[in-house]
Structure formats: C-alpha cells, structure tokens
Amino acid sequence: MAILAVNAGSSSLKFSLHPLQDGQVQPFVLSGNIQGLEPQGSPCMDWTYRGKKHSEPLAVSAGSSSFEAALHNVRALVNRLEAAPDIEAIAHRVVHGGGVFTQSVLVTDEVLQRLASFNSLAPLHQPHNLEGIRQFRAAFAHLPQIACFDTAFHASMPEVDFAFALPQSLQAQGVRRYGFHGLSYQYIMSVLQEQTLRGRGRVVMAHLGNGASLCAALAGSSVATTMGFSALDGLMMGTRSGALDAGVLLYLMEQGWTHAQMEKLLYKQSGLLGVSGISADMRKLRADGSENAQRAINQFTHRVIRETGALVACLGGLDVLAFSGGIGENDVELRAHVCERLSWLGIRMDAQRNQEATGKHAYAIHAPDSSVEVWVIPTDEGRVAAREAAALLEQQRTPLVAAGSALA
C-alpha cells in the first residue's frame, strides 16, 4: 500500500507516491510535476519512477479542462506502472488551516466549506489547493482524502509572537499571525534531529524559494516565523513584497487604488520581479548581471540576514542554521553571503562543502571550528503529508481494533 501526496497550484500539479512498509512512510517511488495548467498554457508532465526520468506532453480533450486532463493522467500513470503499490489514501497540502485546523484532518463537505473561508488569506494558494481536493474526491471517491496544513507546525508559537498590536476584538476574529511553509519545516526539523544532536536546540530554518520564510524552532517546536496573517509578510519573495509598512497601502487607497489592484501588486508584481523588472527567478537574475538584477539579489539577501538576526534574538542564540527551498538548496553564493554576514555568531563555512551541497541529501557545510552548524536540506513536503495521512489513518483504525478486542 502507499499514500499519494498532492500539491495542487494555480498552474501546476505536483504529486508523489510513498510506499508504506511496516507502517512507516518510505521515500517516494514515483514523483511528478504537471506544469502549464494555466489558461492558454502548454501542459506537460515530468515524472520520475524508481529513479528513471520521463517527460511527455499532456493531451487535453475537447470539453475538458487542463486540470481534469492532469488528474486523468496521474490516475492512468499510477495504474499503468509496473509493480506500483496500491493507493490507500490521498494527502493534500493545504496552505491555510486558520486557527481551526492545527493538525491534519479527514476531508468532509463541512471541512471544505470551512477551509474555503480562508481563501482571502492565501489567494494564490488556498483556492487551488481546495479545487485539487474536490477533483481528487470526485476521481477517487473510494479513497480517504486528508488535508495537511502549512500553518499547523506553527500552532506552538507563543501569543507574544503571534499576536498583533491591535484590539483584542480583532484577534478574537482570527486576525493574528499564523506562519506558513509548515510541512517543509516539519520535514527539515525531522532530518536535523536525525543528523545532529544540535537539531534539538536553537534552530533557524530558511525556506527560500519563490515563496520564502524563516522559522525559529526550540526543542523541535516553532516559536517564531517571518510569515504572518497571510503569506505576504516577512522576507522578500519571487513576486511578493514581504513585510511592508501598512501606511503604503493607506497611501495607495488615497490614490484611488482598488483592492484588486493592490492584491495584484503585492502578490504578483513585487519581490524579485518587481525590484529587478526582469524576473522572479533567482537563477535568471544571477545570469543577467545587470545593475537591476544585482539590486534585487542584494535586497533579497539583506532581508534574509536581517530577519535571521531577529529570530536569533528570540532564541537567545543559535545552534543550527538550515537552508532549504529552491534558492536555499541551490544558490551557493547566497548561502556564502548570508553566512559571512552572520559570522559574528561564530558561523564558519567550509567553501568546498558549500559548493558540493547541491545534491539530494542533507549536507553539512560548516567548517570544523564553526560555533554554529550549517546544513543544506532538500525539503520533501510530500513525504510529510504522507506521514500525516498514515498517522491519521492509524488513529482511526486503533479504536476499531480496541473495540473488536473488547467484544471478543
């Protein structure tokens, strides 16, 4: 048996199949990414099965949407693969659980309705996450669908960190910091605690990609993070602004900007793309070499350094710094610059190991005399979602087994 992990976005559908062995979730045997699902896109499915890579265009039949075609192809792919394990459940990444869902949950109509009320808090992600669940429920009606939340890992944050300096009546309505990238941080933390005893101490994790955030953890639990009420706060990102003086929005409103215009500005026209005017892709900016590209890179890096310092202050020191995400895992220069600027903490990087750390496994890049361990850890949100689903299914089975024993 296996768990199928799904991450449905606005223009892509990522999936991975994780076998269960003795009740434990194993690394994926199948993973894939279907891109180009946006209107007028060119859908293509890239997938890897047992280490062998494949790529094929996605045919969309008349009368069908590209998402429906993607769903059909995922189902057909799993069915046609030789020796592929049977699917026991489908685990879905859902960005926002609000203050209601602090652990993974079996999806029902009522759950979907409640989750839809959080759409405005994560408009780039939540509606597409939920549409993915609806489509998979329809296509795999016999399988349990389980929602796994990016906000859940941060449920341990103290009120002093999650509360805004606003009237209590607004906090009672749910206006507070939630934090995101929780599935990624949960995976990074589990790997760190396997690799080093310091992983149980004071840790700052940097999930740096098109979406970017930092998380401070103590004894494995989140105590502070840079993202807040929405996925806009904190670090500069690919197309998102990050932290912004609220007075800027008041000014734009006075200038006649509408809600839709401001939402588009903050979510889709800012960040690396907005500052550079070139691209939201750090790789393209590195290759560009122009003054505007360098300005965007410098600003992104500075925000990482600045916010790391703030989280270290919350922790009272630092034992481990971990990089992850598309930029964190692959941008050698950024890691070197961040560690150099944080050398006052006693961080010493091994330049050779930093160059080598672009593989598939956790890799330590600190020098022997470093006071702080520095790791590069490729994240695996799908595996965490699969673990969450397997644990929830086991919880549901346990009462039945106990009841059966009692009757016997």
- Is residue 157 annotated as involved in ligand binding? no
- Is residue 51 annotated as involved in ligand binding? no
Long-range contacts for 116-125 (Cβ within 8 Å, ≥24 apart)?
Answer: 121/96, 121/178, 121/229, 121/230, 121/231, 122/95, 122/96, 122/180, 122/230, 122/231, 123/263, 123/267, 124/10, 124/231, 124/267, 124/268, 125/9, 125/95, 125/96, 125/231
| Structure-derived torsion over alpha carbons of residues 297, 341, 208, 196, reported in degrees to the nearest 10 | 160
- Is residue 33 annotated as involved in ligand binding? no
**How many residues are recorded in the chain?**
408
- Is residue 73 annotated as involved in ligand binding? no
- Is residue 327 annotated as involved in ligand binding? yes
Contacts of 132 (CB under 8 A, 6+ apart): 6, 7, 8, 13, 67, 92
- Is residue 207 annotated as involved in ligand binding? yes
- Is residue 233 annotated as involved in ligand binding? no
- Is residue 210 annotated as involved in ligand binding? yes
| Contact present, 130 and 123 (Cβ < 8 Å) | no
- Is residue 259 annotated as involved in ligand binding? no
- Is residue 38 annotated as involved in ligand binding? no
- Is residue 335 annotated as involved in ligand binding? no
- Count Cβ atoms within 10 A of the Cβ of residue 21 and give its class: 0-12 exposed, 13-18 middle, 19 or more buried: exposed
Helix residue spans in 196-281 (DSSP H): 246-254, 259-268, 271-276
Tell me how far apart the 2 most distant CA atoms of the chain are, in Å. 76
- Is residue 23 annotated as involved in ligand binding? no
332: closest CA among 371, 296, 308, 359? 359
- Is residue 93 annotated as involved in ligand binding? yes
183: closest CA among 396, 363, 7, 373? 7
Establish whether 150 is a catalytic residue: yes
| Contact present, 216 and 333 (Cβ < 8 Å) | no
CA distance 150 to 110: 20
Structure tokens at 293: 């590209």
6: closest CA among 80, 62, 50, 67? 67
- 357 phi, psi to nearest 5 deg: -85, 65
Catalytic residue among 150, 233, 331, 380: 150
- Is residue 129 annotated as involved in ligand binding? no
- Is residue 381 annotated as involved in ligand binding? yes
Residues serving a catalytic function are 150
What residue numbers does the annotated binding site for Mg(2+) cover? 7, 381
Q: Which residues carry a binding-site annotation for substrate? A: 93
Q: Which residues are annotated as a binding site for ATP?
A: 14, 207-211, 281-283, 326-330
| Bind-site residues | 7, 14, 93, 207-211, 281-283, 326-330, 381
